[in-house]
Structure formats: C-alpha cells, structure tokens
Chain A
C-alpha cells in the first residue's frame, strides 16, 4: 500500500531585508490566490498543517506558511548569540512583505494569528496597495501583559513554561490531541524567542492611536475565539469597530490557536471568509485571471 503523504512541500528561500540575507523555511500546498499564513509567537509554521492540507482550501489558494527567522527551521541571523531578541512591528511587517516579494506573490492574502494577527494592522496601514485581504486572527489594537521575564530565565525551563503559559489560551472543547500538539510546538522554541516575540505582541504593538488611519482599501477580517484571554472578543470587537473596511467574527468553543487547536471548528468560520475573498477576486476580470493562474 502506498504511503500516505500530506500534500505539503517544504522549501528554503533566501530573503533579503535591510541588507541582511535570511534563510527562510516555508511550506506550501495548492494553487490559486496566494494565502500567506503567519504563525503565532515563539513557534512556527507547523501550526498551519491542517489548512495547508485541506483540499477545500488549497484547491483555490496557494497556501504558504513560513517560519520567521529564529523560528522553526529558519535559522537566526549571524550574530544572534550576542543580541537580545526583540521583535518589532517595523521588522516584522517589512519582513512579511520581503518574503512575499521574494516569492513574487502578487497581492497575497495574509492570514495570521495572535502576533500574526496583530501585524495585519501594520500591514494594512503601510502596505495596503500590495495586499488583497487580511485575516487577523486573535488580533486587537493592544494586547498587554505577556512580556514577562520568567519566559526566558536560567532557572525556569523555557520550553515547558512557555508552552504551559499558552495552554489555557485553548478552549476545553478543542480536542486534547491537538491542544497538546500545539503545546509541543511551543515547547520547541529557541531560548528567549517567545519572549522576544512578545515584545512585539505586548509592547511594540500599540495600535490604539492608529486604528482610524487605516484607509479601509484592504478588507480585514478579524476572527477571535471566545476562550482567548489574551485578546478577548471584546478587545477584538472594540478594535474592529474603529477600523474601516473590517469585520469581526467571534468564534464559539475555540481559543487563541484556532488553526491548530481545533481545525474543524475553525474551518466553519474560515470558509465563508475565504469564499468572500474569492468572490471579490472573481468579481473583476483582472482578479479572476489572477485567481485562475495563481503564481
């Protein structure tokens, strides 16, 4: 009997940003509208394996998930051993676009969760002409309280502490196997990487005075699970209420990691969003051609 494979292919791309070249790992599957998926803080693109493998998604979208430098299989830049890692909104948003440019993606959809959701606001503000739509999962304009020293401390096991600190962000209704798989991804982050990402998540990302500056030219779909205690539905609703061209979708029975903790529940909420994005693409001749040819 033939071995069973996921349809996912992994590759390494060299991406240049601010004069530095980064070796970036990414996974992809499918053809169609480019859909770039951003992992959460301290972990990597494995979180997106269900969506990458789903034929109902990858038959219409070229689904791509990459590991930020220092995450997963993307190695840190030379000199990391002497630096304190702190992710900033500027680097993160520019790097997402540099990756999209390197792969020559034409007006991709960017879908990210947690810090990957928060960065969507910065992408909307600064790169709207290069994007088709944004799916900001578990995102809001300000999410304080996570930049804490215990997550990178020589007397605390970083893997276990980081992973357990996020475990309760998942809903009790989510299948235990998927919750523990997410825990496992978190347990594998490099030292200080989760905390460094949380510098962006809880400190550098303060969008409260910027919400109204987003033009609304790019649709933003906010999607937040009711068990997310880091970015609650109220926080998402308040943010979405200030941003033109956005829509807030509150997901029942799910938490902060929809794509990995409960892909079945997440899909029920995601498919109508993807259908809308496809519908918009089919609505004009130019976009339809783009959707059909994909890359």
Chain B
C-alpha cells in the first residue's frame, strides 16, 4: 500500500480500532478532525475513542474542529519505524522552532485529546507501507 492513500488510511483505521489501549485511554474522544499529507486531506471522524469513518470527500462545507497538516515529506519521516529526530512526534514537528506541521482550528480539542491522538498517530508506524 502506498502511504496516505485511501486503502492505507483504512488499514490505519483498523489498526487503531483494534488497538487495546485505544479502548481505555480516551473514551470521550468524539470529534471530526482534519489530517493533511501534502495536498491529500482526510476528515477523521472519532466517536468515543474509535475512528468511525475516514473520508477524502471534503468540501468547503465540511466542518472540522482541528487540523493537522504538513508536507508529505514530514509525514513520511513520522511514519518510519524508527522516525528520525524532529519527526518522531506531532508536537516536535509543529513546535514553533521547527514548523514541519501546522496545527490549526480549535486546537483546544486537540490538547484535550492529545494523549489518544498521539497514540493513534503512532500506530501509523504499524501499517504496511510500500
């Protein structure tokens, strides 16, 4: 599978939803957030700590709370089994010193669920990538 294509995203969704820790660390994680890998953007719909749906059918009318968007190259490093320094974490990439990822929208929701969000994004490293 090619990283960040719809099949890959669905495989990530399955990995997250089957992860035992995700079932306990944040049962209140219910929101729709945006994730962007270069030009390719998805809406991830979280419901009670699980990914209910991922879609790339976005329009200007699609509501979302917070967005995580960065160049594809940032995410390609992030998902490496052993990611290199400065790319091993979303806050590492987004920190003002580095600017390799943009966090925007209602970031309060992101901070409220940072633990589960970090955990589920780390699961991307378990998805098979061509």
Residues of A within 8 A of B (CB): 144-145, 150, 153, 155-157, 160-161, 163-165, 167-169, 171-173, 226-230, 232
Contact = CB atoms under 8 A, between A and B. Distances in A.
A172 B83 contact: yes
Contacts of B95: 145, 229-230
A174 B88 CA distance: 12
Contacts of A226: 85
A164 B88 contact: no
A229 B86 contact: yes
Contact of B96 (A145, A150, A163): A145
Q: Which of A153, A157, A163, A168 has the largest count of B CB atoms less than 10 A from its CB?
A: A168
Interface residues on B, range: 20 to 34
A163 B89 CA distance: 13
A232 B97 contact: yes
Given A144-B96, A172-B88, A229-B97, 16 more contacts: A144-B97, A145-B95, A161-B115, A164-B118, A165-B91, A165-B114, A168-B88, A168-B89, A168-B91, A169-B89, A227-B85, A228-B85, A229-B89, A229-B95, A229-B98, A232-B85
B108 A153 contact: yes
Interface of B: 82-83, 85-86, 88-92, 95-98, 107-108, 111-112, 114-115, 118
A169 B92 contact: yes
Q: Main SS of the interface on chain A? A: loop
Given A165-B91, A229-B97, A155 B112 contact: yes
A156 B111 contact: yes
B107 A229 contact: no
Contacts of B85: 171, 226-229, 232
B104 to A, nearest CB: 14
Nearest to B89: A168
Instruction: Pick the 10 closest A-B CB pairs, nearest first.
Output: A168-B89, A150-B111, A229-B92, A145-B96, A164-B114, A164-B115, A168-B92, A160-B115, A227-B85, A156-B111
Given A168-B89, A229-B92, A229-B98, A173 B82 contact: yes
Nearest to B82: A172
A163 B115 CA distance: 8
Contacts of A161: 111-112, 114-115
20 contacts: A144-B96, A145-B96, A145-B97, A150-B107, A153-B108, A156-B111, A156-B112, A160-B114, A161-B114, A168-B92, A169-B89, A171-B85, A171-B88, A172-B83, A227-B88, A228-B85, A229-B86, A229-B97, A230-B95, A232-B97
Contacts of B114: 160-161, 164-165
Contacts of A160: 114-115
Nearest to A146: B95
